[in-house]
A and B are shown apart, each in its own frame.
Chain A
């Protein structure tokens, strides 16, 4: 039983946490690619920016002496989402729209988004320094729930933290909301039409400028959610999401660029592949030692990949996907 609990703690929970973050980030990347046809490299830094906006708002609330049972950064998240969405719109207007108007190639837009990445990162480090901050500003502690498993014969509990629990709920809500938006609302249908065939969508009278704006609003606010959640789960630092922007791209590509559902699938796929690859299988298979003959005992570490190479797993999956099925699991768009 303990082995199973260990597996749940180490693989199921952390895989779901990572998967939620990858999926939320990858939805934004994939929507931008579907509508605007370029790889928006600055998406990771939009996540970090969202987290820092939540941090500033939470600090301001805490300074006013407001203490709530939930983490403050989570409470202020809706406001932070709106702000991040506005900034995303501003970035588009300032940096990408002029290039699009000139008819620049997707490659130029990708390089421009690297420029935006550098500017956001420079600004964040300029204002907040390059150290690590705690987003629990009011001195709240990170609550850990321990599910007692003694009724099932386990000696250790299943551990889950409050931010992780919130994250599961929020991700599920967002995915459902996005599903209804894309399938039921006029705008959502217009977005899907434009992702499918931009020229045809324009000819059939879809307001493409509006669709572009909505895309940035959705991508920006989701980036803010993902960044804040990641900061609540780990810690807040300027390269918070820059480090995971490549797995996010991997998730979006594996799912098929342009497909929102593909991004969710890809996100969880990459996250579980990473977690399973570095998971030490000996911890689960140890009972086998009793059955195995002498001298065949399991080694102390049976992880498929050493922990240092965890992120490499995502890149390997990415490269293999690009080679075997360049447009992803669900057939994605191309630039």
Chain B
């Protein structure tokens, strides 16, 4: 069954042949969807699929290379989106000319006071307070720091929301915003990793899901920073928008095609660079060490490898790609909507991509990302078509038409995703293009 046990694999068992066949099949699907839905539409799908491929590569670093169970993907996508809003959205003068920056400064100071309190409380053992008393003092310091911060941030937030709406952006280039999204994700990943990487599989999954929900609650409700449920739009594009192309006299269909083509170009550039780096890292000594840790962390640890430190590295590298991918998605749709992020679309779907594609194999993961995203997108119109035909049948035999076909068809996506994941786990647990394990 596995390619590893029979080294001179041929035909379907050869990873190269298999990969080329599958990529060719995907190319045919893309062309078919392009012919049916139009060029502008397939470009839209491809651009988003490229961003998802970047995110899936990030998960592949964490899960495929290191066996880390990260279910906080949605959180990183939101962080990437929010960071790019902060950097690339036009400057909001109403905020900068108000009392807002001053009040935020005070809130930051209060935050630092809180941090200092906690740090000091952690070191009370130096003056002889240990054990339960130390724990109690640390808890008290956390509480005091929280109260101090709340007394400053609450009025600041209320003031900014009532006068300037929200902080606004810095008006920088969107590509800088993407990189910033990656950077912020890295910082947050460092802390999440520090907190939770000591946990094992199932526990790590549940902890990261919890952290991702905390991040969502924060981003959704920090109206002063992210505008919360009121959403930020329109986000600027790194390339000319269709409207700008139309202003130069281009026809409307052409303008959408060229604008999306240019955006797709930049996104693919990011993907290719990330892919080359990730692939090289996998083949090199660093990748070998990571696989050694993944396959047997106890023996790797006894060989002198810093298991937790290396896993933190993986966690941060993967999260950078997720942050950048999330930033690209938010920029492309031109809207940052915290309520639009759902674990189903933004965490589980990416897991399906990696598992179906083949965890540990970058080619497989990219294939999986494109394939699953296309299945996700076309399962809605396909289900609609089926339902419309069924509806005609049921009304013909007197049962009446199917109500609410549109919304029901949309739900088929979720069902299809569930079917794909269970089938894949049962019949191809190693994915479409499995990881190539070289022995000897």
Contact = CB atoms under 8 A, between A and B. Distances in A.
Contacts of A122: 411-418
Contacts of B416: 122
Contacts, number: 138
A119 B411 contact: no
Contacts of B414: 118, 121-122, 125
Contacts of A120: 418
B421 A114 contact: yes
A130 B418 contact: no
B221 A308 contact: yes
Contacts of B348: 114, 118
A319 B418 contact: no
Contacts of B429: 102, 104, 108
A110 B210 contact: no
Contact of A108 (B207, B211, B425): B425
Given A126-B408, A129-B407, A315-B210, A99 B421 contact: no
Interface stretch (A82-90, A221-229, A245-253): A245-253
B425 A323 contact: no
A123 B408 CA distance: 9
A38 B205 CA distance: 11
B407 A119 contact: no
Interface stretch (B13-21, B53-61, B194-202, B246-254): B194-202
B408 A309 contact: no
B296 to A, nearest CB: 14
A129 B421 contact: no
Interface string B400-440: 00011001100111111111111001100100000000000
A306 interface: yes
A110 B412 contact: no
B426 A315 contact: no
* Dominant secondary structure at the A interface: helix
Interface in B211-243: 211, 213-214, 217-218, 220-221
A143 to B, nearest CB: 32
Given A249-B206, A326-B199, A118 B217 contact: no
A117 B418 contact: yes
Contacts of A8: none
Contacts of B425: 99, 104, 108, 111-112, 115
A116 interface: yes
Interface in B26-79: 69
Contact of B214 (A112, A130, A316, A334): A316
Interface in A128-148: 129-130
Contact of B69 (A102, A107, A253): A107
Contacts of A126: 408, 411-412, 415
A64 to B, nearest CB: 21
Contact of B201 (A107, A112, A119): A107
A119 B210 contact: no
B201 A106 contact: yes
A104 B408 CA distance: 34
A253 B206 contact: yes
B1 to A, nearest CB: 11
Nearest to B69: A107
A329 interface: no
B418 A318 contact: no
Given A125-B408, A125-B411, A315-B210, A116 B422 contact: yes
B257 to A, nearest CB: 33
A199 B351 CA distance: 32
B209 interface: yes
Contacts of A335: 200-203
Nearest to A117: B418
A311 B211 CA distance: 12
A202 interface: no
B422 A246 contact: no
B344 interface: yes
B297 to A, nearest CB: 14
B196 A312 contact: no
A111 B207 contact: no
A112 B348 CA distance: 11
A111 B414 CA distance: 15
A119 B419 contact: yes
A118 B201 contact: no
A233 to B, nearest CB: 22
Nearest to B67: A107
A118 B418 contact: yes
A118 B429 CA distance: 18
A39 interface: yes
Contacts of A311: 213, 217
A284 B413 CA distance: 49
A318 B209 CA distance: 11
A114 B207 CA distance: 16
B360 to A, nearest CB: 14
A115 B403 CA distance: 27
B355 interface: yes
A79 interface: no
A39 B418 contact: no
6 contacts: A112-B425, A115-B417, A119-B419, A249-B206, A311-B213, A319-B210
Interface of A: 33, 38-39, 95, 98-99, 102, 104-108, 110-112, 114-123, 125-126, 129-130, 246, 249-250, 253, 306, 308-309, 311-312, 314-316, 318-319, 322-323, 326, 334-335
Identify the 9 closest CB pairs spanning chains A and B, nearest first.
Answer: A122-B415, A118-B418, A119-B418, A115-B421, A315-B210, A125-B411, A122-B414, A115-B422, A39-B202
Given A98-B426, A108-B425, A326-B198, 20 more contacts: A39-B205, A111-B355, A112-B422, A116-B418, A118-B417, A121-B415, A121-B418, A122-B411, A123-B415, A125-B408, A129-B408, A246-B210, A246-B213, A253-B206, A314-B210, A318-B207, A319-B195, A319-B207, A326-B199, A335-B200
